[in-house]
Amino acid sequence: MTLWHLSRGQEIQSIRIHPWLSSNDGNVIRQWGCDGQGIILRSEWDVADALADGSLVRLLTAWTLPDADVVALTHQREGLPERTRNFMRFLQESFLPVPPWRA
């Protein structure tokens, strides 16, 4: 069993699903969706190409899912090397104002 949380404006719906297939491998799940094996829930960046080429079709377009934050883990908070700070800044700028998979 899996619980999906969807929101539309101030309305929030939690839906318990009972999948026929289950995997912890995102590539497998995406392929099942492209093969027509059912409805999948994946991050937008993970399925952007399949949406663009029509292999997948977006459902429930008025609803959104919780954001999946991108987190950079470092061994310390203070005194990060300049190259690490520059890389993290580059990543932040790459996702704003429009992430590359939406461009």
Question: Whole-angstrom Cα distance, residue 47 to residue 45?
Answer: 6
The pTM for the full model equals: 0.73
Burial class (CB in 10 A: 0-12, 13-18, 19+), 100: exposed
- Which tokens in the block code for residue 47? 């399925």
Write the pLDDT tens digit of every residue in 34-85.
Answer: 999 999 999 888 999 999 999 999 999 999 988 878 788 887 777 888 898 8
